[in-house]
Each structure stands twice: as structure tokens, then as C-alpha cells.
Structure 1
Amino acid sequence: MGVAGCGKSTLAEALAQHLGWTFVEGDLCHPPENVARMTAGIPLDDEARQPFLRNVATALTASRQGAVASCSALKRDYRDLIRQQVGDVLFALPHLSRADLERRMSQRPAHFMPTSLLDSQLATLEPPGPDERVLVIDGNLPVAEQVRRIADALPPS
């Protein structure tokens, strides 16, 4: 989980490969109208995010052996919606400075999410509560180290 540029997709794909699970690219779960809004620099509101979140949850439950998704899940309500449909979920939040996020976003010019939406994402992000299963990790750590820390936090299978 996390704002644009934090490394969600890279981390989720590496974690899925490490675990032998299915990788769900959250960006592909957005309805076309959401992609069009973000491409135009218009932030998504709660209503627009609902189909996206349901699509992510559906994709997670479709895998029998386990799945890892990249999904912003910026608000508690969004994470709760996913939990309601999927069940027990460990969210991982790579934490980076705004400057690091902006630098990363500027290095992916073909992505539909413009850097101009970073501030709205940061404003929307609700830090996880102490009762949520969220692992906050340093997003500047090597991906392999982030994967190790997340894998270590998962219950034994």
C-alpha cells in the first residue's frame, strides 16, 4: 500500500515471486474512467475508488495459492473494504520522503499518474492504526530486504 512512487508494484511483484504467489498489478484494476481522470490530473474521490478497490479484492481472492497486490489503500476505509472481501491481509507500507517520491515519479514519464497528484495522495493517506495489520518499512531499503521483512512478518504457511 502507499502513495504513487513508493515502490508498491516493484515490491509486490518481487514478494509474489519470492513466495510463489500470484502478483496482482493494482494499476490494471482501475476502471478506464479512473485512469482518464488521473491522466488529466484529477484526483480520485472516495466514490471513484470503490470499483478499483473491489477489483483489487476480487483479484486477490481469485488465487488459491495466495496473492500479492500493489494497491494504494490510502485510507482505513479502503483497507477495511479489502479486508471485508479478502479476510486476513497484511498491508506493507514503504515509507519515503516526499522528495524521494517525487524523484521516483519523475523517472516514469509513461505512467498515467502525474507528479502533480502526489500532494493529493499524501493528503489522503491515513496512517495505519495500531489495530491494523500494517508493516511500515523503509522504502529506500533494497527491494530484497523489504521482501525479507514482509515475508518474515507473514504467518507460517
Structure 2
Amino acid sequence: MAKAFQLIVMGVSGCGKSTVAEALAKHFGYPYLEGDSYHPTANINKMRRGQPLNDDDRQGWLETLNSLLKKQIGGAVLSCSALKPHYRTTLCDDISNPVFVYLKGDFDTIWARLQTRKGHFFQGQAMLQSQFDTLIEPTGNNVITVDIRLTIPEIVTQVAKELARR
């Protein structure tokens, strides 16, 4: 793959963003940026209390992630919820080849995954419902939609095939 892409692996919490992003980064030899690692302390504390983040909470975080992507001119993989179109616009500002890898799944499947996850600050069924309520599914030429029921190798293969056509 000659063209370098900025891959943004997106979806609600529990859909597999970190796992898929790590696998894609390894496959393409890109650096991996874990979006959750860049949340300010106030956001983390709010989520630990079971409170959903609002647009104001997310804005500075999204700008930080965009700045990090801009520095990765040889390609990168970022995991980030990117639930709304204007969040995605902020992430893509001045980025050459952004591609969103949307991990699509249903509430029940994702809730079951979240109940087995340990050591993460995301808490509660209400928070997951809030993310589903906030999510506006991405569309467009820079989106690859993936079914989260696929295995990680199947997801990597699907993304690689779609990127090879670009």
C-alpha cells in the first residue's frame, strides 16, 4: 500500500476499537494512538461517575487527537468514538487521507462485552445507551463499515482490501 492513511477506528464503547486499531496498526506498520489515553482528567472522572460526556467535554480532546494525527504523515491508526459528524470533521481537519473504520454492532452484543471488561473507566448501561443515542452513523467515501461479529483477522482483511482499492 503506497498511500499512507490516517485510520480512525470508531464506534461506541465496547465495540472493539482498541483491539481492532492495534491489529490494523500492526498489519500496516503504523503507529497506534489510543484515543482514551488523551482524555483530560475531568472527562475520565465524569465517565467514572457514570456521566456521559457532552460536546464541550469532547471538543478539546478531539482537537488534541487531530493534532496528534497531523504529526503522523506516514500513516497512523487512532481509536476514537467519533460519534457525531462534527466530531469526525474536527478529527479530519487538515488530514490528507482520513479513513473511518466504523465498528458497527448492536446494543445487546456490546453490552455483553462491556460487562466482561475490567479496568476501564466507562461505566454503566445508561452510558452505553447514551452513546447509541448520540451516534450518527458515518457515511461517505472515507468510511469502511465493519460488522463487529467478524473475527479480528477478518476485519483486518476487509479493511486492507478496501484500502487497496483507494
- TM-score, scaled to structure 1: 0.93
TM-fit CA distance, 1:118: 0.2
Matched residue, 1:118: 128
Runs of 4+ in 1 over 6 A off after TM superposition: none
| Separation in 1, partners of 2:72, 2:137 | 28
Tell whether the 8 Å contact from 1:25 to 1:69 is kept in structure 2 after alignment: yes
Question: Which amino acid is 1:120 matched to?
Answer: S
Letter in 1 for 2:91: I
Of the candidates 108, 112, 118, which is equivalent to residue 103 of structure 1?
112
TM alignment of 1:2-151, pairs within 5 A: 2-116=11-125, 117-129=127-139, 131-151=140-160
Of 80-89 and 69-78, deviating more is 80-89
Moved more, 70-79 or 101-110: 101-110
1:142 alignment partner AA: T
* TM-score where L is the length of structure 2: 0.88
CA RMSD of aligned residues (A): 1.5
Label 1:144 to 1:53 Cα distance change in 2 as closer, same or farther (>3 A): same
- How many residue pairs get aligned? The number is 156
Q: How far did residue 115 of structure 1 move?
A: 2.8
Q: Which runs of 5+ in 2 are unaligned?
A: 1-9
Q: Please, which runs of 5 or more residues in structure 1 have no aligned partner?
A: none
